[in-house]
Amino acid sequence: MEDKILLAHGSGGKLSQDLIKSFLPDLANPILEKLDDAAVFEVSGRLAFTTDSYTVNPIFFPGGDIGKLAVCGTVNDLAMSGARPLYLSLAFIIEEGLPVADLKKVLASIKKAAAEAGVKIVTGDTKVVDQGSADKLFINTAGVGAVPEGVNISASNARPGDKIILSGTIGDHGIAVLSRREGLTFRTPVPSDCAPLGKLVADMLKVSANIHALRDPTRGGLATTLNDFAEQSGVGIIIEEDKVPVAPAVAAAGELLGLDPLYIANEGKLAAAVTASDADKILAAMKRNKYGGNAVIIGEVIAEHPGRVVMRTAMGASRIVDVPVGELLPRIC
């Protein structure tokens, strides 16, 4: 096989077939192996369906790569509706000249992430474009998941009195990618938090039916997610600055780059609005999951100032936490 991806790899001819067949061992499952035009599978009940495209630059970063991101990002979008993630599609847009070894590395990490998340990749597509028409590798994944009976989770369901739970430190993914891009090195390197959260959400649902809103704070960070809750639910939210966990290296890098961790992307965290009386047991369930070890209650939903998020600063003042204003941030997901 060639050591770089050629335009011919996307032509539909022999090279294309060889390339696709070389993917199969990594992704093997009976539905995919039929190589029919569409995947056929049985599902019943309510479905969740989502899609996302991944264009992160660089494609390999501390703690992950574009492949892991493409699986986790879509799995997490499904999980945030309370769904159990089941099936993914996987489409590559490859820039001519990408080393085949890089593609193999990405595939290996897709395999690993899909296995961990318990999802099957059941259909896919590969296109190759001229140099300069894409940047190394773009991936699109779409996913379907099954929403269990009685689960009704939406950013519009937060209610006054709810507690806001955050599953761990914020800003790790954005800083991991930026530090690699800008050649910044820190004494304590910051790995991306990229992780599939389906099982964390399942653990939460096992102990409580009163999870009202869930979202993974990706682009735009925690500030954007909380503003979504406030706006879509027509409620106010108040959080405590000193409760929001930030890794020291992320805090330091944020200062250096002039970025507030509240606005920096995460790929393995969630924020939830839950009934106050269930908050402690949900928190305990989260802490038992490896992706919720640092989970913490950071604030609450209130009836006052609907649509607005307010933070009590560590110094004892209050300020509005708005959505980020048009910053020139590079591609991070």
Of residues 77, 67, 181, the one with CA closest to residue 124: 67
Cα 318 to Cα 259, 305, 310: the distances in Å are 19, 13, 7
- Helices (H) then strands (E): counts for the chain: 9, 13
The reply to whether omega before 58 is within 30° of 0 (cis) is yes
Output the six-digit token pair for 82: 């309370």
Q: Does 252 bind another protein (CB under 8 A)?
A: yes
Residue appearing with tokens 């590559």? 92
Output the six-digit token pair for 118: 């318990």
Q: Considering only the stretches 14-22, 226-234, 254-262, 280-288, report the one whose residues sit in contact with another protein under the rule CB under 8 A.
A: 254-262
* Contact (CB, 8 A) for 271 and 300: no
Q: Which of residues 164-203 bind another protein (CB under 8 A)?
A: 182
Which of 40/317 has CB closer to another protein? 317
Count, residues near another protein per rule CB under 8 A: 24
> CB of residue 9 vs another protein: minimum separation in angstroms?
28
> CB of residue 187 vs another protein: minimum separation in angstroms?
8
> CB of residue 182 vs another protein: minimum separation in angstroms?
6
In this structure, the dihedral spanned by the alpha carbons of residues 73, 267, 173 and 116, taken in order and rounded to 10 degrees, is -80
Neighbours of 41 (CB within 10 A): 12
Q: Does 135 bind another protein (CB under 8 A)?
A: no
Which of 301/310 has CB closer to another protein? 310
> CB of residue 225 vs another protein: minimum separation in angstroms?
17
Residue choice 256, 287, 289, 306 for contact with another protein (CB under 8 A): 256
Neighbours of 155 (CB within 10 A): 21
Q: Which of residues 307-326 bind another protein (CB under 8 A)?
A: 310, 313-320, 322, 325-326
Residue choice 255, 277, 280, 331 for contact with another protein (CB under 8 A): 255
Q: Which residues bind another protein (CB under 8 A)?
A: 182, 242, 248, 251-252, 255-256, 258, 260, 305, 310, 313-320, 322, 325-328
